[in-house]
Structure 1
Amino acid sequence: MLDDQDRRLLRYWQAEPTLSPGELAAHCGMTAGRAARRIARMQDAGILQGVGAVIDWAALGYAVEVSLRITLDKTQGNAFDAFQAAAREVPEVIEIQTFLGRVDVRLNVIARDMGHYQQIYRDRILTLPHIADIEALMQVARIKAEEALPL
């Protein structure tokens, strides 16, 4: 589906997402129009899903990140859907992942400090539907957070 020129475009854009379409095309050795058509094709195919800003939550005062591993009470037929819908409504939940196995869902939660986290946990997390068990892992350091693909 992707050829070498598509991969080159993606590689340069991942490395420097602030490049204008013209600059990106110049780096890739193609015209701006051709690069724009290739980018549009990759967007239409769902390969490129958007370009956004990366925000340093700590710089905005969020000093605590906790990963919650949650096992749901699967005796209810709608447990996953109801839980996910409710978890999406918690603004401090920055990531939701589902798994196969003992752990069903993982939530990443950010908070300003431990007092704020306790408030979120008591008022928002523990009220989510169908929770059977929760294990909390407090993040100490982020060693690697890379979303770029090896193209």
Structure 2
Amino acid sequence: MRVDEIDRKILRQMQADPDLPMSALANRAGLTSSACARRLEKMREAGIYRGQQAVINWAALGYNVEVYLRVTLDKTQPRAFDDFIEEARKIPEVSEVHTFLGRVDVRLAVLARDMAHYQEIYKTRILTLPHITDIEALMRVSSIKDTEILPV
């Protein structure tokens, strides 16, 4: 799908204020509500616009510890990635799973209420994941920039 300037305008408005009602979004893009909805649907079908989601402040809900684990897998095992990822996705406190090229194969983001909760997750769930050869833990101290907004 080719994205034109009107599509870009819609995307910019969605990034700036994702709670805009369709009528306001359409007005800002210079379209009717139905034309704006059709454009959004085309962008959704093309995989450009994936929809909206709730952004939750986990710390406000008592999850005060965020640890990133850089995991190296035993790549001599043919199913190492598949097995590891399948099991890691089952851990509710794992909020992100990313794969990489290089020395680190997978990065997990783990949310916990406190250090005792993190240690319990680490001992009983993370260390039991298959094919791990090395883990490095990085504890988040602060978030300097946290956005998915890019110039469109």
TM tier, shorter chain?
over 0.9
| Deviation at residue 124 of structure 1 after TM alignment | 0.5
Q: Which residue number corresponds to residue 64 of structure 1? A: 65
Q: Which residue number corresponds to residue 22 of structure 2? A: 21
| Deviation at residue 77 of structure 1 after TM alignment | 0.1
Q: Which residue number corresponds to residue 134 of structure 1? A: 135
Tell me how far apart the structure 2 counterparts of residues 84 and 15 of structure 1 sit (CA, whole Å): 34
Q: Which residue number corresponds to residue 103 of structure 1? A: 104
Q: Alpha-carbon deviations, 1:123-146, whole Å to 9, x = none?
A: 000000000000000000011110
User: 5 Å matches for 1:52-131?
Assistant: 52-131=53-132
Q: Which residue number corresponds to residue 149 of structure 1? A: 150
Give the letter aligned to residue 58 of structure 1: A
| Deviation at residue 73 of structure 1 after TM alignment | 0.6
Give the letter aligned to residue 27 of structure 1: R
| Deviation at residue 27 of structure 1 after TM alignment | 1.1
Q: Which runs of 4+ in 1 moved over 2 A?
A: none
Alpha-carbon RMSD: 0.6
Q: Normalising by structure 1, what TM-score?
A: 0.99
SS of 1:90's equivalent in the other structure is coil
Structure 1 unmatched ranges of 5 or more: none
Q: Give the fraction of aligned pairs with identical amino acids, expressed as a percent.
A: 60
Tell me how far apart the structure 2 counterparts of residues 30 and 49 of structure 1 sit (CA, whole Å): 21
| Deviation at residue 40 of structure 1 after TM alignment | 0.7
Give the letter aligned to residue 110 of structure 2: V
Count residues with an aligned counterpart. 151
Q: Normalising by structure 2, what TM-score?
A: 0.98
